[in-house]
Chain A
């Protein structure tokens, strides 16, 4: 039984037309699944649907076998989902440490151990712990954002274009960190523009086109598929 299964998701915003059409996404603990596809393919929408930010007309979302389709995003955080939005994903006026504390807001137990883990994963954040997150560079801010989401000790971490707007070197670093996070047994679902690099580290790849699953395979197989290469990866 796969840890997260989002089955046959169909839905759109408000009363608008459907954006997702029977879209299916799954990921297991310790694995990385990447959603790629052209602009407007519904990648971010699919992730929002998994997180409950988009009402589904049909289909369901199962987390660890439990049907969470009707839960609100907040309730899904309690259920073990962590979400890192693409933009505005840190509290800019608050220090790095306070950002992490706010990440742990729903926890009543002692979270200093988790904070240590986050600092161990992102050592630069320990140095900058007293600095407002708004003063950090783009890459460091992304680390704060991921760190904040990790503070709830999620079982599933969702990242919406974590490398948007950062340099290639920082992108590689971030991907390394994401691999490290996955190695701790967390399931990772990620939307990425940098499809080739993302598929490189992915266990599963989902190529969406117009809200439908077009190709689904391991990251390696998708990278090797000549058709996928030609149409989506630029040769």
Chain B
């Protein structure tokens, strides 16, 4: 019995808890990507770097607040700085839309042209981030680091394995739930949210109904910028902030959006967790876990790790390819890219 508990705690500590936190971050990123796809009809390659830029603004504001001695006690100061980052990201995407995407929208350009334009925007955001904050790793987490420490857990339960839950992980899940609940409420219940869905469903009929496309596009960008900043900040708190990792997040985020069904908000959430769990589970070494469950004679000699952590991006990539081959609409019957 105790072996079983130890095995479960071990798995929770190294797989479940990290995957839930990582899944929440991917879900928020994928939700932004999918909303942009639903309304503006293109895959926004600049989303990862938008996350980086939004987070940069949050970090700068956090430093400012820390210097002024303002904090949230046990909670990270970054939460207080979040609105600043969201505002900065929103201004940035709205300017980008005005200077780049609006031109192509008026031309009624093909989606692929938007995608290429967004690649250009990605490089500019990327450079902007490096100009502003540099390429180094930044840690901006403060407040209490742990909700439960591994040592305390061991003492409390008397188990051999410890379960550590970090503040940033709890905050990630809570903020994700609040943000997703807000976005769904907005899309389902408000007039503007319904107009967004109508515009995504049938653009011509939406225009006939008097829905103002400029307003729909504006609101979509603001929501996407907010989601990107929140996702980026949570990721940075949970792991650390490096511009390059944010660029790399693009792959799992797109995989999540496509697995769930592009243009389907619920699909983005589900997809985020599928990708996160796959990535963490495939790269986890099960030696210790099996050690608790298997009799002495069957103990594995190797690490029982399916894939090295260096290859974690391969997991998203394989899932992406398989989904596109087998079920290109994704789980929730989204659009085919």
Contacts and interface: CB of A to CB of B under 8 A. Distances in A.
A78 B210 contact: yes
Contacts of B206: 91, 102
Contacts of B209: 77, 102-103, 105-106, 148
Contacts, number: 57
Q: Which of A85, A105, A106 has the most CB of B within 10 A?
A: A105
B204 interface: yes
B205 A93 contact: no
Interface string B164-203: 0000000000000000000000000001001101101110
Contacts of A8: none
Nearest to A76: B208
Interface string A87-114: 0111111100010011101100000000
A206 interface: no
A214 B213 CA distance: 40
Contacts of A98: 194, 197-198
A91 B197 contact: yes
A105 B195 contact: yes
A101 B188 CA distance: 12
A105 B194 CA distance: 10
A88 B202 CA distance: 7
Contacts of A101: 191, 194
A92 B210 contact: no
A103 B206 CA distance: 9
B198 A102 contact: yes
A93 B226 CA distance: 25
B208 A74 contact: yes
Interface residues on A, range: 20 to 34
A12 interface: no
A74 B208 CA distance: 6
Nearest to A75: B210
Interface in B198-253: 198, 200-202, 204-211
A162 B200 CA distance: 24
Interface residues on B, range: 10 to 19
Contacts of A211: none
A219 interface: no
A77 to B, nearest CB: 5
A73 interface: yes
A83 B208 CA distance: 8
Contact of A94 (B194, B204, B210): B194
Contacts of A85: 204-205, 208
Nearest to B197: A94
Q: Which of B194, B209, B211 has the most CB of A within 10 A?
A: B209
B211 A102 contact: yes
B208 A77 contact: yes
Interface string A6-28: 00000000000000000000000
Contacts of B197: 91, 93-94, 98
A98 B206 CA distance: 12
Contacts of A73: 207-208
Given A98-B194, A102-B195, A89 B205 contact: yes
Contacts of B194: 94, 98, 101-102
Nearest to B203: A88
B210 A74 contact: yes
Q: Which of B195, B205, B211 has the most CB of A within 10 A?
A: B205
A88 B204 contact: yes
Q: Which of A93, A94, A101, A152 has the most CB of B within 10 A?
A: A93
Contact of B202 (A78, A83, A91, A106): A91
Interface string A174-218: 000000000000000000000000000000000000000000000
Contacts of A78: 210
Given A98-B198, A106-B209, 11 more contacts: A73-B207, A74-B207, A77-B208, A88-B202, A88-B204, A93-B197, A94-B198, A102-B198, A103-B209, A105-B195, A106-B210
23 contacts: A77-B208, A83-B208, A85-B205, A90-B205, A91-B197, A91-B201, A91-B202, A91-B205, A92-B202, A93-B197, A94-B194, A94-B198, A98-B194, A98-B197, A98-B198, A101-B194, A102-B209, A102-B211, A105-B191, A105-B209, A106-B210, A148-B209, A152-B210
